[in-house]
């Protein structure tokens, strides 16, 4: 009985680690939320770990993001399923000297 309880408790603990970002459906508010979660000055590796732990797709990128020319940034694609499509956030987290220096976001919905 103790083993079954321990296995169930472990399952709940592991399920709790699978947090999503829970972003607002607005670009400006989403940037504010991500800025709180990954503040300016955060090392790049730590930012990547935090985002990937929240089920975001992250890759390094260079160049244009939403009309801004950025030398080095983390491109972040995050999606949440809806009834007939999904919400999609795309972030550029600018990296300067190995640390987060700025956050940019686009938001939209995609119908299937």
70-73's contacts with Cβ under 8 Å and 24+ in sequence apart are 70/94, 71/96, 72/96
Query: What pLDDT is stored for residue 92 in this prediction?
Result: 98
The answer to whether residues 18 and 55 touch, using CB atoms and an 8 Å cutoff, is: yes
At residue 22, the pLDDT reads 82
* CB count in 10 Å sphere of residue 101: 15
Number of neighbouring beta carbons within 10 Å of residue 35: 16
Instruction: Flag residues of the chain having pLDDT under 70.
Output: 1-18
pLDDT at 5: 40
Residue 83's pLDDT is: 83
């Amino acid at each position: 009985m103790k083993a079954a309880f321990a296995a169930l408790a472990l399952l709940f603990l592991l399920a709790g680690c699978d947090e999503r970002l829970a972003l607002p459906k607005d670009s400006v508010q989403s940037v504010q939320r991500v800025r709180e979660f990954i503040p300016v000055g955060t090392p790049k590796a730590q930012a990547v770990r935090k985002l990937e732990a929240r089920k975001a797709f992250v890759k390094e990128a260079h160049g244009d993001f939403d009309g801004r020319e950025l030398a080095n940034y983390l491109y972040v694609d995050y999606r949440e399923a809806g009834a007939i499509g999904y919400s999609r956030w795309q972030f550029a987290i600018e990296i300067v000297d190995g640390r987060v220096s700025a956050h940019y976001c686009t938001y939209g919905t995609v119908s299937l």
